[in-house]
Structures are given as C-alpha cells and as structure tokens.
Amino acid sequence: MTQVAWQGAGQREWAGTARTDASGAGSGGAIAPTGPMSPAELTDDSGAHPGTQRAQRTGEQARTGGEVILDLQHISLSFGGVKALTDISFDVCEHEVRAIIGPNGAGKSSMLNVINGVYHPQQGRIVFRGEERKQMHPTAAARQGIARTFQNIALFKGMTVLDNIMTGRNTQFRTGLFAHALWWGPARNEEMRHRQKVEEVIDFLEIQSIRKTPVGRLPYGLQKRVELARALAAEPSMLLLDEPMAGMNVEEKQDMCRFILDVNRQFGTTIVLIEHDMGVVMDISDRVVVLDYGKKIGDGTPEEVKGNPDVIKAYLGTSH
C-alpha cells in the first residue's frame, strides 16, 4: 500500500535548490517557522499558526465569493523546447489573497511574469476586469493597476529610500520631463502631490526613520520593505509579490505578514503571492493554487490544498 513518507535529505523541498524556474528569472504573533512542513503539519486541519488571525476562513472571513477580476485560461508557455507552463487555468477574485506555491522550477515566477506582461504565452487567454487579451504588456499592466515586487531585490542602491519609492509613481506623472527638471508650475504642484502619497506609504510601512538613507546601506529585510513600498506607491488594485519573505528572519517575516494583510484589509488590494514558507501561506491566503513542473496539481482553500493527495505526493514524495 502506498503511503506518504518523509524522504529526508533526498526529498524535493519546496524551498530547496534542486531546480530553478525556467524564467531564470515587529508585531503580531508567532508565524510558522521557515522551511518545509512535516507530514503532520501538512495534513493537520486543527487550525493555522497563531498570530495572523486568519485561520478560520468561514463566514465573513471567506471572501473568495467576490467578483473574478483576473481569469487565466489554458495558459501555456515555452522557452525553445522547455515547457515552463502547460495548460494552466485559475482565477483571482477581488480583495482576496491568492497564493501560488510549488517546488522550485514549478513555474510560479513564470506565471507572475505572464500576468504582468513580462512573458507572452504561446497559448491561452487572459481576462482582466472583463477585458480579454491574449497577452498583457508591462506598461499597460502597470497603468491598469497591477504592481509587482521581484524575487531578487531590484532597487537603486545609491538612491535614498524616499527617492526609490518615488519611482513607483512613474506611471502617475502627467507633466513633461523638462517641466519637472525646472520644478516649475504644474510640474512642481504635481510632484508635491506625489511626494505626499509617498510619505503616506512610508508612514504606513513604518520606515520614517530611514527615509533619507541610501538603500544600499540597509539590511536585507528593510530593503524588501522598501521594495514593497515602491510597489504600493503606484496605488495598485492588484499586487504581485514574488517571495516577499525570502531570506528573512522570523521577526522580519512577522512584520511583512502584518503589512501584507494590512494592505489587503485596509486598502482592499488584491494580493497574488508566491511564498515558500508553507506556514505563512496557510495562514494568510484565502485560496492557493499549486504548480509542479509547470502544471497545476491543486487549487482551493488552504484546508483543501493540505488534504489534496497530489499536493502531498509532490511535496513529500511517496514510498511503497
């Protein structure tokens, strides 16, 4: 009889380094520890980890019945002879936290790149807010309210925190470059309005004390927070987060979880999240889609995904 078994050092860890994507590319309670979950944690339905108050997804907390704002249908993406995504379909509802999980190389980052137009799938269609398209384009996606953070920090290390966040407003400017260079008339007034928005984001993420510090001098965890701030400066309706807690310690993860949930709850921002820490995923997500080798193997609430035999098999492996 086949049974789920922990494969020790040889098993395919979610956060392992055995494969790479084809893309190449201080408050709150305790958050789940990093690293792979044990078999008991993966299949236990007794409740989520304390701290995020998101464990029970019934009643008013189960918000997945909202309007579908992003519908991905039969998406397939290849790089030469390498299939990154194969016939993947799922949707994202307004105001929800939607997680994408799977082993390294499963196609998670490739899927985010499809959503915001970095990659163009060979097959499938994308419907965003009722408008159908074969593919997105990054600039158009940004102007339609889709913002993005990246797996590897992409900040201007020599610029201050304030100036880095200000770059997130680039799609909002209406006056010309020459007028901004002179800081005159309408351009001056517009920049002052944008700076006010940036200051609001700085206050929200509690980084006032480092606002004039060059980003390159900051520790890794704060740099990740600045990258989140830059994305929020665009005032997105949908926020794509590619491993926002990678490389963080427990305290930094607690803070990042709190900020992500606050963005979702207070601003109503829809979150699409890639994260390897399964405790965090199960705590803060409304729904989870699971990819493995570029194919979808699971989709549903955290409780449904934890009980999915295909997901358990992909995570833990099997023994006979």
pLDDT tens track, the chain, 320 positions? 333 322 222 233 333 333 333 333 333 333 333 443 443 444 444 343 434 444 344 333 445 457 999 999 999 999 988 999 999 999 999 999 999 999 888 999 999 999 999 999 999 999 999 998 877 788 888 889 999 998 888 788 989 999 999 988 876 655 555 545 555 556 666 778 888 889 999 999 999 999 999 999 999 999 999 999 999 999 999 999 999 999 899 999 999 999 999 999 999 999 999 999 989 999 999 999 999 999 999 999 999 998 999 998 887 665 44
7-51+66-145+236-319 fold: Rossmann fold (3.40.50)
Chain centroid to CA 144: 17
| pTM greater than the 0.85 cutoff | no
Distance CA 2, CA 5 (A): 9
End-to-end CA distance of the chain: 6
User: What SS3 state is found at 260?
Assistant: helix
**Predicted pLDDT of residue 202:** 95
Domain ranges of the chain: 7-51+66-145+236-319
**Cross-strand bridge partners of residue 133:** 126
**Longest distance between any two alpha carbons in the chain, whole Å:** 77
**Predicted pLDDT of residue 275:** 93
**Predicted pLDDT of residue 140:** 86
Q: What is the rounded radius of gyration, in angstroms, for the C-alpha atoms of the chain? A: 20
